[in-house]
Structure 1
């Protein structure tokens, strides 16, 4: 077997492979002889069909079959000899058997050779935060509000009140679609209406009528009204204030705290907040580490890997969009272009992480895998059963191992990178883009 390799462009390789034709013809003849012993045809006794008849009927199919086997076997032997790593299936172009040699070509892309930038050159901002008493009190206040009831009030409406309103909206004196409602419940300060709408309803009273003028944003979802000024005639049917329950032992018991009263509830709140904060910080650090890694390393990405990742993203989008809907979305309906940038970033990151694992000969930490599984299982009523399930489900176990390996890569980078800490308030870190 003779092999030659040509770099056609970037990661693309064209491999030419030649094999003696007489060897292939011999294999074809043997396969036809085997068929002659098993085939049955009218007018011939079993095993007595002339080879000329067998060849005429099955020769083409057998030749194609043998050639496919030869090309597959020769291709994988060639890439091993040439130390090539295909990033996708090759495109095979077969020659003919007329000469002394059968030659075919295989065109494919290979994985890129990656030389990583030194981790010490990476600059990473590491977020830090601690839970203060005011954060716990704010969370406790939210729990009280969740258990509160809306009751009519005789005073003027203020922020966080609910107003029940009828309204009719017009643009240039004409009503428009979606501009009319009756018995509409609106929490003032929720920013659920057009900018300026809720603010103009502050200090209204039950039974009051008020005219409101607002301008729809230029990027409003309905092009019919986007950027236009609208006038709303509003009738206030009712103003409601939120009455929260007393913070006592009875309230505390609603959250499963039987002993310790309010102090114990606060302790449980802090424990849950700390768990959420730790997870948030861990996720933020991983994101920043990987962003810095990708910024510092330019990688040529094989197109087949991008195409594969696009299909994964399409499938995820279909599953997400189809939840709760009767109609299913077909994959061909989703244009690949909208997923391409995300697919490139994901493939690039995977290539970089794999290179780090290879360069540093990292092995997944079994103790960290066990700890991760036990932590996830602790959220269930029967944690031991969940632990056993993870270890007996190879797919789920591999997902956990992959996540742990990513954590090990992050830890390795942080040990060597230029890391600077930055402090954040609890809300600032947990809700970086709160509604205004």
Structure 2
């Protein structure tokens, strides 16, 4: 009679799985809350303590770490001397391990560093030739179906083992990241000698930079992100460039305390303005370069009202992201079914570093936050800027930090009137589009 060990934190679907295994003639082994849930459902279950002869010790830090458990999982059924050792020590084989781990990323702490769970998962995954491992509640029905059909073979077990190792790898990375954050000295925390990046696929995007390229958005488990607060209220699904440009727009507009509007095209701002109202800020940002703004992404740091929506609706736009939209604004903007409207409550959270891929590796640099205090600036000309000129300079400084090199930014008052990101820095200013209506001479 095959045996299954079930020990889960998330008990979603576990009783149904246990019942399905029982109906197929499996013996159920379990511990703690999982064993109670199975027993309360009227199913026969053997507690791991009865199997090992030792109950949980050290505040449940040690429950399943025992040769009668791990020996039953790790034994190579094709080796006669393994069978002899199992018989000598009274160890019976375990054929299926069902485990999910403590949710460390959502509530990190020493007592939520799971030891027994990952050990069970890794043992079963290592021995996938003989043992199945299930770490995802979404796989319960599929595994039961394969067991009923007699198709739960090595290829299926290998796929489940791959997922299991990815899960334990992500778990260890989350613990290592937490320990780095908890260390007050932060030794090599920004650019560590070993960089572990584990990401979960959050969304498959429409396409990549071009329609023939595939793309997906991946999230770092446990990482703070403004995207967590974002809700898409209207429009088509996001593409790769939509996400990239929306991120750039929200990052820049989040730097301003006053009502601000940012328009981004191809990851660079083409319009930035501050004003007493969001509507006026958008009008000024758009007027700075209306040609580049066509088909761009708009970000504002205040509510989009009817006035702002009316201004936006007259121009082809891919995405509008804002903290909120008034009911009247939604009536206006939702009349455009393809216009993506994103409501985001949280400001941009910097990860501190920027990562890009190179052949065979990753290129990492710290972010340019453009958060230097005014006292850190040095005037190198004979004439000291006026207060109004300092306002323009600081706006240009924040904008140029978000512009790809070689970057030149011109600002007049609270409006960016020219942005260049070109190959030749000597003649870069010639690429600026300056509009006399904005007061530039």
Q: Normalising by structure 2, what TM-score? A: 0.21
The structure number with the bigger radius of gyration is 1
TM value normalised by structure 1: 0.21
